[in-house]
Chain A
């Protein structure tokens, strides 16, 4: 199966992409050569930092001999005191920046090597020092800000002329990791490096902890997520990922607003969790003395708004599911749900194509992208294929035929034995197909196939087992069985299936959409069937648990379905007031960002993922 690669791949991938220096981009293009005999300090604080006076020399000796973060912290705390002693607050209040470094790089792109723009008004830049070298009367700092990086060229004579003792402060009190502000003129060095020649330089925020020595290829990948701020400082790709995330979301918003959709906010805390089949988080509201659940989908509230006359609505926001963590699952994730009155699932397919294509163009500049080395093409209309067709391709089992046979058997009357026989016969064939499958993962789904309560469930289980993984290029898998689609409208011509699709890319579900079920009578029947089935199974397991306990045996393990569900009858009342024919679409934003930023895990695209 083409599932996400394990998490450990992430740093390996980063290493592969940037094999040059261990500190990544911390060292500016022109790599530092030890032969320069310069005093080099990069992200790690182990380097030599001879100070001006004896005391500092001693500090630095300590730093050299033993550079545990705690000791470095003590030294830097002392430097902060020294700065205060000189009347310089080590935690400044602000800084008037005139340019981002990127602006300067663009403004002075034509400046020849060796030239200095002396006539110009001084510029002021600010950012984090990510590398530092001192060579006699010169010091070079690499300064990084939000948009890029530039070199600070610190010439003792020129700095001291404007800021007495400035150079020694840079030498002794500025560490890699500090936030500094620097004013000066722009010059390109002989070696071609655009620089700001410092005529003023001061520490704006004294950092106390050294930036990590080794970050990329860190064996403890979790540290990257737990201390995301370090990950952002150390890795350009991580910063790019979150910028891309923001642009994708803003593209989705813009595209929808251009089409006349209005963005709304519906409750996160609700009394009945509906709109999906998932275990909700529970909480308690003290003053109301009331149990609440966190929403698992925004669907039912948004549809109420369509009933209320908002014909095009969407909500882009967080939903919560009380499930385990994986490379594709985080307990809180971002989805966009879109509802358009007088549209159907065909319109939603077109909308999906347009939205995803627009996002790809925005962040990748092309509708053809690659994900984990696999080219994915969004430029063409996506493939449209029915679920039954995909299962037939994979197993030879024709569910349309089986469903028709079951209907005929049911129509022929009797005790329903005929339809049951069709189910069992199909199940036997399905089990055989699963057992014969070469992939061990596929064979794991046998239990689910065995327990499928209906032909529709069976079809879905088979599709998940053998069909999903093959959908690498964008594929609309359509016409899900009625039994597994309680909110979708029955297909207008084909019995037993719904007007629904799921979008699969790289074997993963990215979107889910239907012609919304608008018939309240049908909706109630389907909800009741779903609730009854779910709660009966839950009660059975609870009973088994109690019996096992009574017998002194070990209770069976909790399954994912260990929760009760309830029916949102107010939603049905809303439908009874009449909802126009409506197309609804949900897109998993995190997975879309994964796809378009070539990130293997959902944790790479959530700034602060949930950690164990």
Chain B
């Protein structure tokens, strides 16, 4: 049986290729882009899948050689000339196919193939899909052009949907097997994921929308159309198409929730062979470059972005209920301030002005606090002109908030509350499973149960390394000691080996490594934190913390430095570091310093990387998985074709 289906398929491909070449004169078909990367994989997959199916044709009806006015079909219904021609062609196809099969069979010296039945108004389904992607595409373009030529719009303007699929399932999911509510009329719409014909009057479709699926049981007897028209409508519809269905709800005898259509409208044909739902779409490049395909095929992808949206919603609600005001500050600035990173540069033509894309909204948000908006936050995009890797994308989303009269201790508590509640609300538990090295490698458990561990940075490092760092970290002696430690422990710190950079590397190696469960690393030295306020107790340190989860920084917060004199001094140090070759040192923003002179209240400021938080809660370890359209390297020589490999 399997074999027969395969033979039947290869013959079909020959035919459709021939049809396709006949269709070359159609300019639109030729103009549309030919094979793109995904279907090369897709068709092979689809082809394989089809081999699991055989075609079922049951009727015995002999088509006469000539059409006549009174010609009847197998049901005794009058047959139109076009239908007669179609069938004639089908017969010819069958004949050719039989020929081919015979040839193949002979060549292979295999068992004689079953003669395929190709009579009657056959309902086509997934098993008779054209398997060559180019032919498939051209065939469908020809189909829509033919419709247009007949004055029929293949892309209807509107289909009224009375119920979403999730609502449909909620409402009718409890029907008994075999039960039908023929009195109700419901209209739903979505994408066809599979199509199976059963005889000449019945079709089963899987219809998906909003991440859920129901069955369409299209029975000619329920249709408003004649059998001929019913067959025509359904033969036009292929896997991947968007359809609208109006009918009544019910369950099949096997208990599958279905809709029984009275009306079935093709709303938007899928011109390409869709990747098979069965084998999915695994190639990462294709998944990111053609996210829409990824979303169609891989249902868990959809839930990643739903979770992302819920995380942002949670943060908004958390801050809104605490009296914070959401604001928007510029993404293009004269000076890229608020962080240390290489900015994107652009140019405003009309003003003939160089502008930088923001690297952080910090300085603007603090200016709003100076202006009297005591609790502000911004959730938005930041831009850093850096390389792309598993945790970095050139544009990423952060939330920063500023709260007047709060300090970093308040923010430590607030962070614990916010993040642990978020995890509890989204995951139903404080403890989550996470695969830090991908789904194939072992999982770890991350426990968000508050309170979380707090490590004071320098004393933590001293304890870890069994040394004592000098009080004056600014001294050359301290720098040298750190450099020696790096050498001793084999920690690589590329030039320039400033104290801040050396410390950062050591902390990364020895402290961050301990932070699998949420852990605060606190009290950073001032020289690493030019915007944070000096610590009220620990000399040369600041009131700052970073939250690490799974060894990665997720939050960064501090009591804001609001002494304008001190701020200018620290900016000067940054300028010195910059001229000494540290291109990650901060730019000086004089306007910001002036604003500070008008008085910034004592303020706690906080930032969170939304992408990294989303990675944790969606169990993904590549930032591209949580960005709908991640930045990608340019494709070499146009779209890559996996089929070639």
Residue ranges of A at the interface with B (Cβ–Cβ < 8 Å): 73, 77, 90-97, 126-128, 144-146, 177-179, 181, 204-209, 211, 226-233, 239, 242-243, 245-246, 249-250, 253, 257, 260, 262-269, 271, 279, 281-288, 290, 292, 294, 301, 304-305, 307-311, 317-318, 320, 322-325, 331-332, 334, 341-344, 346, 489, 492, 499, 515, 518-521, 524-525, 558, 562, 569-570, 572-574, 576-581, 606-608, 610, 612
Contact = CB atoms under 8 A, between A and B. Distances in A.
Q: Which one of A207, A292, A577 has the highest number of Cβ atoms from chain B below 10 Å of its Cβ?
A: A577
Contacts of B323: 146
A35 B623 CA distance: 68
B602 A521 contact: no
Nearest to A291: B634
B631 A576 contact: no
A494 B367 CA distance: 54
B381 A204 contact: no
A231 to B, nearest CB: 7
Nearest to A226: B591
B536 interface: yes
Interface string B34-46: 0010000000000
Given A77-B565, A205-B599, A239-B371, 8 more contacts: A181-B405, A243-B325, A253-B316, A307-B296, A309-B296, A322-B349, A519-B154, A607-B364
A577 B36 CA distance: 12
B374 A146 contact: yes
Contact of A93 (B154, B271, B327, B602): B602
A608 B364 contact: yes
A232 B383 CA distance: 28
B344 A285 contact: yes
Interface stretch (B14-22, B203-211, B432-440): B203-211
Q: Which 3 residue pairs are nearest across A and B when measured between Cβ atoms?
A: A232-B371, A308-B295, A207-B599
Nearest to A343: B158
Given A204-B602, A308-B296, A264 B330 contact: no
Interface string B108-145: 00000000000000000000000000000100010011
Contact of A524 (B31, B137, B270, B406): B31
A144 B404 CA distance: 13
Contacts of A310: 295, 302, 305
Contact of B328 (A178, A264, A294, A318): A318
A264 B628 contact: yes
A608 B329 contact: yes
Interface string B282-313: 00000001111111100000100110010011
Nearest to B328: A334
Interface residues of B, number: 122
A209 B533 CA distance: 21
A93 B533 contact: yes
29 contacts: A77-B565, A93-B602, A94-B407, A94-B559, A95-B602, A146-B323, A206-B599, A233-B370, A233-B371, A239-B372, A267-B395, A281-B346, A285-B394, A287-B385, A287-B388, A292-B344, A305-B292, A308-B302, A310-B295, A317-B381, A342-B267, A499-B157, A515-B158, A519-B154, A521-B28, A572-B32, A577-B292, A578-B241, A608-B364
B242 interface: yes
A283 B331 CA distance: 13
B425 to A, nearest CB: 16
A360 to B, nearest CB: 19
B278 interface: no
B31 A93 contact: no
A612 B155 contact: no
A320 B333 CA distance: 13
A126 B372 contact: no
Given A93-B543, A311-B209, A209 B597 contact: yes
B595 interface: yes
B634 A290 contact: yes
Nearest to A290: B634
Contacts of A325: 350-351
B346 A294 contact: yes
B582 interface: no
B302 A309 contact: yes
B269 interface: yes
Contacts, number: 328
A574 B290 contact: yes
Contact of B326 (A249, A257, A307, A577): A249
Nearest to A204: B602
B210 A311 contact: yes
Given A242-B325, A570-B290, A578-B270, A268 B395 contact: yes
B371 A228 contact: yes
Interface of B: 28, 31-33, 36, 137, 141, 144-145, 153-161, 164, 189, 191, 208-211, 240-242, 244, 267-272, 274, 289-296, 302, 305-306, 309, 312-313, 316, 320, 323, 325-332, 342, 344-351, 353, 355, 357, 364, 367-368, 370-375, 380-381, 383, 385-388, 394-395, 397, 404-407, 409-410, 533, 536, 543, 559, 562-565, 591, 594-595, 597-602, 604, 627-629, 631, 633-634
B317 to A, nearest CB: 10
A540 B598 CA distance: 54
Nearest to B377: A246
Contact of A308 (B294, B329, B562, B599): B294
Contact of B373 (A242, A283, A286, A569): A242
Nearest to A609: B330
Nearest to A341: B189
Contacts of B351: 324-325, 610, 612
Contacts of B241: 578
Given A94-B604, A207-B599, A262-B306, A146 B291 contact: no
Contacts of A266: 628-629
A260 to B, nearest CB: 7
Q: Which of B559, B564, B599 has the most CB of A within 10 A?
A: B599
B320 A578 contact: no
A526 to B, nearest CB: 12
B348 A322 contact: yes
A424 to B, nearest CB: 30
Contacts of A233: 370-372, 598
A286 B357 CA distance: 14
B141 A521 contact: yes
A580 B189 contact: yes
Contacts of B629: 266-267, 301, 304
A489 B296 contact: no
B597 A250 contact: no
B372 A146 contact: yes
A610 B330 contact: yes
A188 to B, nearest CB: 25
Contacts of A227: 591, 594-595
A578 B381 contact: no
A249 B580 CA distance: 45
B271 A230 contact: no
B351 to A, nearest CB: 6
Given A146-B375, A607-B368, A342 B562 contact: no
B242 A580 contact: yes
Contacts of A577: 240, 270-272, 274, 292-293, 296
A127 B325 CA distance: 17
A232 B364 CA distance: 13
A318 B331 contact: yes
B158 A91 contact: no
Nearest to B28: A521
A243 B327 CA distance: 9
A144 B373 CA distance: 11
A308 B291 contact: yes
Contacts of B160: 342
Contacts of A288: 388, 631, 633-634
B171 to A, nearest CB: 16
A73 B564 CA distance: 11
Contacts of A91: 533, 562-563, 602
B210 A301 contact: no
